[in-house]
Amino acid sequence: IRDFCLSRGLGDVYKRQVHHTVKKTKKKQQVKPTKKERADIEARLREVLTTSPTCCDLLMSLFTSALFHLRRSTICEPFPEDFDGPERNYDDAVLYVSSFPPTKSCVEGISRMPLVPLKLLKWIVDPMEEEGIQIKSIDIDQFQREVGFKATHDSKFSAPTHVFVVEYSDWHPHYVSFQEKKSIFGSIIGYHGSSLENFHSILRNGLDETFSKQSSLFGEGIYLSESRDVAYNFLKLGRNHSSGSIFGEKIGCLACCEVLKHAGVRRKENGIVYEDLKDAEGGSLPDGYIVVLDNSLVLIKYLLVYTYPNASPGSAILQPAERRKRKISVWFYLLMVYGILLIGLWIMHGNTFVYRKLNTFGWKSSPVKLD
The identity of residue 7, as a single letter, is: S
Q: Which H, E and C letters describe 303-357, residue by residue?
A: EEEEEECCCCCCCCCCCHHHHHHHHHHHHHHHHHHHHHHHHHHHHHHCHHHHHHH
DSSP assignments along 32-72, one per residue: PPPHHHHHHHHHHHHHHHHH-HHHHHHHHHHHHHHHTSTTH
pLDDT of residue 86: 81
Other Cβ atoms less than 10 A from the Cβ of 5: the count is 17
* pLDDT at residue 364 tops 60: no
- Is 33's pLDDT higher than 60? yes
Is pLDDT of 286 > 50?
Answer: yes
Higher pLDDT, 235 or 360: 235
Which is more confident, 40 or 319? 40
- Cα(77)–Cα(278) distance, integer angstroms: 32
Cα gap 363→210, rounded to integer Å:
73
Taking the CA atoms of 111, 55, 103 and 116 in sequence, report the sign of the dihedral they define.
negative
% of residues, the chain, pLDDT over 70: 70
Q: Where are the alpha helices (DSSP H) in the chain?
A: 2-7, 11-29, 35-51, 53-67, 72-75, 90-99, 115-125, 128-131, 140-147, 173-185, 199-205, 228-232, 320-349, 351-359
Check residues 209 and 247 and name the one with the higher pLDDT: 247
Please, what is the average pLDDT of the chain?
Answer: 78
pLDDT of 26: 44
Quick one: DSSP state of residue 31? P
pLDDT of residue 288: 83
Mean pLDDT value across residues 181-186: 94
Q: What is the DSSP letter of 198?
A: G
Let me know the angle formed at the C-alpha of 112 by 108 and 118, rounded to the nearest 5 degrees. 90
> Which percentage of the chain shows pLDDT scores above 90?
41
Query: What is the model's pLDDT at position 45?
Result: 93
- Residue 367, preceding peptide bond in cis (omega within 30° of 0): no
The mean per-residue pLDDT over the stretch 256-272 comes to: 82
Task: Give residue 5's pLDDT.
Answer: 40
15 or 148, higher pLDDT: 148
Residue type, 178: F
Average pLDDT over residues 281-293: 77
pLDDT in tens, 100-158: 888 778 888 888 888 899 999 999 999 988 889 999 999 998 998 888 876 665 577 78
Whether residue 276 is predicted with pLDDT greater than 70 in this model: the reply is: no
For residue 61, give Cα distances in angstroms to 30, 244, 307, 318: 27, 10, 12, 19
For 357, how many CA atoms within 13 A lie in the half-sphere containing its CB? 5
Amino acid at 212: S
